Amino acid sequence: MLVLPVELTHAQATACLDLLLKAARAETDTQVLVDATPLARFDSSALAVLLAVRRECLHDGKGFAVHGLAPRLRELAGLYGVGALLPAPAAAADAVLAAS
């Protein structure tokens, strides 16, 4: 499981993305789960980081899900039209089953 930091704004985005991508590539599970529970301070850069990690996971043939996404960040994702790209773990599993 990948874990987001407490703060993820533009200032931390590049370093955080680098660490998360390395960890995602090293994951041996078929689905990469990101724990967003610690995330307390963020801006839209957090969405960009999550979407970049998702893109890498899908490129590597892995599923992607986000646990504990803050309601404000979920709302922001919806506003930008990318909410469905950041599924909760159960929703991600349902999507895989539906595709089978």
pLDDT digits (tens, 9 = 90+) for 52-73: 999 999 999 999 999 999 999 9
- Note the pLDDT tens digit of each residue in 7-31: 999 999 999 999 999 999 999 999 9
**Residue 7: CATH number of its domain:** 3.30.750.24
Between 93 and 11, the higher pLDDT residue: 11
pTM: 0.87
More confident residue, 100 or 9: 9
Amino acid at site 82: V
| Structural domain range at position 34 | 2-99
Give how many domains the chain has, as a whole number. Answer: 1
* Confidence band for 92, pLDDT divided at 50, 70 and 90: low
C-alpha angle with apex 48: 17 to 33, nearest 5 degrees? 65
